[in-house]
Amino acid sequence: DFCLSRGLGDVYKRQVEDIVYGGREAGDAILEANYGQARAHAEVSWDAPQGPTAWVSADAPLVLDLPNRSAQWDQSGEHHVRLSVPKLDRFLLEPFVDAGEFEGAVAVHAILDGSLEAFDGSLSARGFVGGRGHKLPLDARIVVAPTEQSVSVDLGSSVHVRAATKALVAELMNGGDWKATEVEGTADIDSLRTSDFSPFLPNEVQNLRGLLEAHVTVGGRLGKPELEGSLALKEGAVTVVPARVRLTDLQVASSFSNQGLALESLSFKAGDGTVSASGAIDVAPNEGLRANLDVIVKKFPLRAPGLPRMALSTRVRAKGFASLETFDVNVGVGKTNVDVYALSLIHISEPTRQAEI
């Protein structure tokens, strides 16, 4: 339903009820605008179906002539914008996106003041986010000015992100090359529990455990940033349902930069079996990618319905090269044994047969 009411010649109000977006109810909205004395002011409020609200207002140096459908905008004058979402949660998102397992309640507020040539703005978000049963406190802030922009995000006590540029907005407004803008930033993850990601995993992956560590630094120019960092997983464990196996003692250590990726070590256990691996990917400018991988498997259990219990032992080495013109992979498999165990009603015996490849 649409309802338009006109005030004293300079006030307009429009109410939109029972909004439907993508076949889903999206709530109600009210738009109110007034103009005069060379300025225009507008406010929009929106009520979602389950109660959360959002509100935005804008005030600009704008002369409107509605009968002639014309407007004069003073870009050098003072502008004011306010945005407020007291509670951003799944009920506010669901009319527009599939929220999945997302749970949270975040207060979002934004302020922007000044002219297009000289302005200051900020956006803050505080609350809790995560999946069902796993929520972390969030504190994020974005600050924008013509000559400096910054971002800071803290998620729980484990995730910290900081980034800043010096003149990105000014370059864009003056038609400059944004790629030349200097940027610097860091991202740190300290002992983040991987179980916090459990609500977002498919059913085939269960009981995820471990502590995630990551450290990244960014520098240089936006068009060609310099990256350097490390990623590690400690005390990891996970159940892979289709393979009927529980992986334990999962450890990962890796590092990366613009020059490539190094898998310094990867190892895990499954029953009495173990798997370990190491490798690297090197990026050669104007040449291509070179990669190598070394995997050692010892008595890794194999499970399949209707088959006896088995265990695999082998070693695999692979090397590869890729460029725009060439793709080459060499794989070498060392001595491979498959142990087959006889099943009795009392116990599982030692291997009764051994196939050697």
Cα distance between residue 184 and residue 246, in whole Å: 41
Q: Residue 113 has what pLDDT?
A: 93
Q: What pLDDT is attached to residue 354?
A: 55
Which stretches in the chain have pLDDT values below 50? 1-9, 345-348
Give the residue from 294, 279, 276, 283 showing the smallest Cα distance to 331.
Answer: 294
Number of helices and strands in the chain (H, E): 2, 24
Helices (H), 57-196: 90-93, 168-173
Nearest one of 83, 131, 128, 81 to 103, comparing CA atoms: 131
> Which pLDDT score is estimated for 140?
96
pLDDT at 8: 34
CA–CA gap between residue 213 and residue 229 (Å, rounded): 11
- Separation between Cα atoms, residue 258 and residue 226, nearest integer Å: 6
Regarding beta strands 245-257 and 11-21, do their DSSP bridges make them parallel or antiparallel, or are they unpaired? unpaired
Of 275, 269, 279, whose CA–CA distance to 297 is shortest? 275
- Chain segment 68-125, per-residue pLDDT in tens: 778 888 888 999 999 999 988 887 887 777 777 778 889 999 999 998 778 899 999 9
